């Protein structure tokens, strides 16, 4: 447990000199520096990063709080964050929001252990975030909209995405449009649903309550929802699933029942997850660039830390990705 003092003593210099030498500051004579470095090696000296951070009052590290470290969080998003921070020489550490408010999440948020945080954890209470607002501590929230202009939001335009997906089906001539949604309290889901409703409204199509189903955002949920839909008798001609996972499940259910996709029924998802392009037929979907979200979040945090920005909100557009699971409606009246 050698400290810089030990190194200095062994090298026969002052602590300050040792510090300069160890940080390769040129004001130290090469000879001396070498002696210091050797002493450090001999003693197996390792700097105490905590002391350093304390003194410099910065950590050059950003924290990201995710719902569950063990869950499949958005990997593209994480990659975007990582890549961007790396170019700015910032480190990244992640923690999960589980465990009440004595967790690492609150350490990140309240105890200055990181220079800024990115939050992607629905279960983290609003209050905890709001309480953590303070000068010069950028907080980027990706999973909700909070009422504070010290918080920067990066969100996806879920409403438009839902609208786009629905409008696409309508454009193909579909009028009987089911919606398989995610958890009802989920904000993203609500907005996608709003988009769906608005699109129907704008085309004067009446919403059919029995075609509004819940699939919990899971593959199994989508599967069951699709089964229910078929059991009801009056099947729709197209289905908009609020995420791709459910769409995959629903697709399976429809295919099992002998329906041909997209000939008999069109299906569109949301998210553009990886397998969407591999399943058969490849899934049409609405894409949100998670990499871009992550990268933007990281970029904003860097800016906030180094140049300063006003707490602005960013809403990223969604993009329709058309593959093979949607096609023109059959002419029923023909």
Partner DNA sequence: CTGTTAGCGCGTTCAG
Partner DNA sequence: CTGAACGCGCTAACAG
Binding interface with its own copies (CB under 8 A): 1, 44, 46-54, 59, 61, 63, 69-72, 75-79, 82, 86, 89, 91-96, 98-99, 102-104, 107, 110-113, 132, 134-136
- Rounded to 10 deg, the angle between the 30-43 and 4-11 helix axes is 120
324 binds, among DNA, its own copies, none (CB under 5 to 8 A by kind): none
Q: Residue 95 binds which entry of DNA, its own copies, none, with Cβ cut-offs from 5 to 8 Å by kind?
A: its own copies
Contact call for residue 1 and DNA (CB under 7 A): yes
Question: Nearest approach, Cβ of 59 to DNA (angstroms)?
Answer: 12
3-state secondary structure of 61: strand
- 135 binding partner (options DNA, its own copies, none; Cβ < 5 to 8 Å by kind): its own copies
How near is the Cβ of 112 to its own copies at its closest, in Å? 5
Kindly indicate which of the ranges 40-48, 206-214, 239-247, 265-273 contains the residues binding DNA, using the contact rule CB under 7 A: 40-48
Q: Residue 33 binds what, of its own copies, DNA, none (CB under 5 to 8 Å, by partner type)? A: DNA
How many CA atoms lie less than 13 Å away from 325 in the CB half-sphere? Answer: 31
Find the shortest distance in angstroms from Cβ 130 to its own copies: 11
Burial of 316 from C-beta contacts in 10 A (0-12 / 13-18 / 19+): middle
Stretch that binds DNA, among 44-52, 116-124, 158-166, 262-270 (CB under 7 A): 44-52
Measured distance between the N- and C-terminal CA atoms of the chain, rounded to whole angstroms = 85
Type and span of the H or E element at 320: strand 319-321
Shortest Cβ distance from residue 15 to its own copies (Å)? 16
Residue labelled with tokens 């921070």: 85
The DSSP call for residue 79 is H
- Quote the CA–CA distance of 92 and 50 in Å, as a whole number: 16
Residue 27 or residue 185: which is nearer to DNA going by CB? 27
Smallest gap from Cβ 92 to its own copies, in A, equals: 6
CA distance 115 to 198: 41
Integer angstrom CA distances of residue 93 from 60, 139, 154, 279, 290: 11, 15, 20, 34, 19
Cis check: omega of the bond before 281, within 30 degrees of 0 = yes
Residue whose entry in the numeric block shows the structure tokens 């409606």: 329
Minimum separation from the CB atom of position 182 to DNA (A): 42
14: partner contacted, choices DNA, its own copies, none (Cβ within 5-8 A by kind): DNA
Q: Is 9 in the site for DNA (CB under 7 A)?
A: no
Residue 48 binds DNA (CB under 7 A): yes
Residue 3 binding: pick among DNA, its own copies, none (C-beta 5-8 Å cut-off by kind): DNA
- Residue from 19, 82, 84, 166 that binds DNA (CB under 7 A)? 19
* Distances, alpha carbon 32 to alpha carbons 8, 16, 25, 45, in Å: 11, 12, 12, 17
Residue 121 has φ and ψ, to the nearest 5°, of -155, 95
Rounded Cα distance between 84 and 287, Å, is: 21
| Cβ nearer to its own copies, comparing 278 with 334 | 278
Smallest distance, DNA to C-beta of residue 47, A: 5
310 DSSP 8-state letter:
-
- Site residues for DNA per CB under 7 A: 1, 3-5, 12-17, 19-20, 22-23, 26-29, 31-33, 45, 47-48, 51-52, 54-57
């Amino acid at each position: 447990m050698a400290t810089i003092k030990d190194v200095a003593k062994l090298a026969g210099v002052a602590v300050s000199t040792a510090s300069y030498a160890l940080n390769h500051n040129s004001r130290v004579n090469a000879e001396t520096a070498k002696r210091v470095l050797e002493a450090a090696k001999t003693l197996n000296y390792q700097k105490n990063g905590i002391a350093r951070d304390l003194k410099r009052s910065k950590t050059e590290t950003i924290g990201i709080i995710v719902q569950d470290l063990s869950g499949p969080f958005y990997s593209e998003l994480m990659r975007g964050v990582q890549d961007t921070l790396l170019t700015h020489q910032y480190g990244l550490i992640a923690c999960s929001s589980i465990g009440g408010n004595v967790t690492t999440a609150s350490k990140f948020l309240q105890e200055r252990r990181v220079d800024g945080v990115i939050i992607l954890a629905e279960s983290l209470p609003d209050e905890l975030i709001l309480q953590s607002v303070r000068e010069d501590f950028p907080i980027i929230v990706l999973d909700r909209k909070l009422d504070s202009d010290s918080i920067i939001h990066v969100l996806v335009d879920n409403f438009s995405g839902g609208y786009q997906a629905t409008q696409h089906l309508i454009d193909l001539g579909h009028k009987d449009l089911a919606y398989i949604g995610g958890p009802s309290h989920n904000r993203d889901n609500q907005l996608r649903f709003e988009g769906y409703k608005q699109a129907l409204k704008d085309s004067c199509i009446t919403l059919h309550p029995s075609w509004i189903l819940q699939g919990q955002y899971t593959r199994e949920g989508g599967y069951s929802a699709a089964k229910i839909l078929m059991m009801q008798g009056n099947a729709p001609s197209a289905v908009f699933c609020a995420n791709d996972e459910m769409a995959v499940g629903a697709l399976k259910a429809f295919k099992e029942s002998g329906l041909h996709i997209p000939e008999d029924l069109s299906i569109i998802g949301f998210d553009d997850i990886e397998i969407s392009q591999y399943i058969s037929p490849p899934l049409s979907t609405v894409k949100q660039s998670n990499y871009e979200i992550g990268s933007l979040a990281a970029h904003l945090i860097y800016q906030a830390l180094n140049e300063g920005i006003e707490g602005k909100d960013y809403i990223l557009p969604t993009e329709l990705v058309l593959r093979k699971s949607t096609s023109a409606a059959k002419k029923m009246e023909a």
